[in-house]
Amino acid sequence: MDLSSEQIQQLRLGALTAIDGLWYMAVERKFGFDTALELDLEVWKDYGIVILKRISRMLGITIDPADPPDLSTINRLLEIVCGIDGTQCDGTVQGDEIVFRVHRCSWWDNLNRSGRESHVPCEFVDNTIFRHWLEAIDPDVGFEITHSLPRGDDHCEWVIRKGIKA
């Protein structure tokens, strides 16, 4: 009666989304949707910073906003932090920008399964959280969302470059 490494990994991924969803719904029941969303955004902003610091230490990268990494490094950091929850994504550095695509988003999938896809402002969440994470890496980097699963596109896509402050 043992579980495989793959099964344990699936349980970990499921636990991450379950804990977030259960916490969110408990706060929403007690304090309402707006407060739950506000607190959830704060938690996810902090989570990303903690995970980015851990990833950078593991990779031997120093994250210093005064001396930011190149776009290839920023892209790799985003691919890893997004992949932790099972999101399938990839970014391509094209000159002075990154075209970052999310092909399958575990959070969007969960919102759809729970029937809450129209309740949670997915793009607002992404704009808030990812802007915070990117500013911690390089304050001069920003992004714009050009494709979005909630808008009916088959993927989400962000164009990330220096100087964008949308």
The 10s digit of each residue's pLDDT in 16-25 is 888 888 999 9
Report d(CA 126, CA 9) in Å as an integer.
Answer: 25
Query: Using the 8-state DSSP alphabet, how is residue 60 labeled?
Result: T
* This prediction's pTM: 0.86
Say whether domain 5-162 belongs to CATH 3.30.1380. yes
Predicted pLDDT of residue 104: 92
From the first residue on, what is the mean pLDDT of each consecutive set of 10 residues in the chain (166 residues)? 90 85 93 95 94 95 91 95 90 95 89 83 88 93 92 94 70
Predicted pLDDT of residue 164: 66
The answer to whether the beta carbons of residues 68 and 160 sit under 8 Å apart is no
Distances (CA, A) of 9 to 6, 21, 36, 59, 98: 5, 19, 28, 21, 29
Predicted pLDDT of residue 165: 57
- Which strand (E) or helix (H) includes residue 99? strand 97-104
The answer to whether the beta carbons of residues 161 and 98 sit under 8 Å apart is yes
Domain boundaries of the chain, sorted by first residue? 5-162
Predicted pLDDT of residue 29: 97
